[in-house]
Amino acid sequence: MSYSINLGSWQSVFAVPSDVVDKHLKLAGGAQLKVLLWALRHAGSPFEAETIGEALNMQPADVRDAMQYWVETGLLTAYGGALTPAHADSPAVPFSEEFLPAAQPPLPSGKEDTPGEPPIPASKASRPLSRPQKPDSLFVAKRVQEDDDIAFLMQEAQVILGKAISNGDSATLLMLHDTDGLPVDVILMLLQYASSIGKGNLRYIEKTGIRWADEGIDSLELAEQKIRQLDQTQKAWSAVQRLLGLERRSPTAKESQFADRWVNQWHLPEDLIREAYERNVDAKGKFSFPYMNSILERWKKEGIQTLEQARNEKKPSQKAYEEEQSPSYDIEAYERFSIFDD
């Protein structure tokens, strides 16, 4: 299906730089695009952050952040109290001085300068490529411009997830790379895995990525091994969920461990798992993963591997009852030595 727009039906139009579509449309967030379009529509008229915020239902701080984003990307330049297009002679966008990025004081070095020590070159001191906290949108934009691998990561993430990623999502992916040390190809594999199991939200991806970093998963080979392990654990949980008639839901970490232990590590037959479940409910009146695990663990230690062996086993309560009811004397010996014998 093809589309066409009849410009004659509109009363007025305004110019949008081609670079916005060609270079920034994929990476810019919705808030940044809205602020830019509003500013371009009102080019030639001074405005404040509060004015844009009221028109777009945004906080003034978010408006300032969005305007500074376009300055940092190089689309606009701050010059003479106005935001001027960087590579065009179109009218400047007047703005309040509050949009200008404030000069940042030098970070304390933790010690005073020692005589005789050369000062740290500015080029090295002002080039942080990673941050301990989640980076802001301006820092993300700078990294995308400076590093082709980061730009590729952001573009592929949108393709894999099937949606435009927000500023916060971009910051999360950058943090997994810069702060947690995951290579780009490992992050992309994580995105593909998360999307394949219906968990393409960045919260899950961030938690899983941090866990992978803690486990030292820093190569495609290790990532593939981890994904195979996760797949086996998920299959084990699905089997246990079906056997026990549990509602369809995501398991807790402990529940996943129990399911993985019973199915993948101990290789227990399904009917034996079901028998342990029924005994658990009979004994406690409700289901409990730890209690059921104690039953299966005892059977494993005693070598019980089939349903028949489990059912032939005397229950602890039955054993105690039989011992309690058994006579504490020898009947035959009593009869032999009875005082009533002649």
Cα–Cα distance between 323 and 318 in angstroms, integer? 9
Q: How many CB atoms lie within 10 A of CB 86?
A: 15
Q: How many helices (H) and strands (E) does the chain have?
A: 17, 3
Q: Is the pTM higher than 0.85?
A: no
In the three-class reduction of DSSP (H, G, I as helix; E, B as strand; rest coil), residue 76 is classed as: strand
CB-CB contact of 177 with 183 (8 Å): yes
Structure tokens at 80: 């003479």
Picking from 32, 37, 38, the residue whose alpha carbon sits closest to that of residue 55 is: 38
How far, in whole angstroms, is CA 27 from its chain's centroid? 20
Which structural domains are found in the chain, ordered by start? 14-99 (1.10.10.10), 148-228 (1.10.10), 249-325 (1.10.10)
Q: What is the pLDDT along the chain (342 residues), one digit of tens a residue?
A: 555 555 555 556 778 888 888 877 777 778 888 888 888 888 777 778 888 888 888 888 878 877 877 777 777 776 555 676 665 444 444 444 444 433 334 444 443 443 333 343 333 333 333 334 677 778 888 889 989 999 999 999 999 999 888 888 898 999 999 989 999 999 999 999 999 988 888 889 999 999 999 999 999 999 999 999 999 999 999 999 999 998 888 888 899 999 999 999 999 999 999 999 999 999 999 999 999 999 999 999 999 999 999 998 865 554 544 455 555 545 455 445 444 454
Q: How many CB atoms lie within 10 A of CB 221?
A: 9
Long-range contacts of 14-22 (CB under 8 A, 24+ apart): 14/40, 14/41, 14/43, 15/40, 15/90, 16/40, 17/75, 17/85, 17/88, 17/90, 19/75, 19/87, 20/75
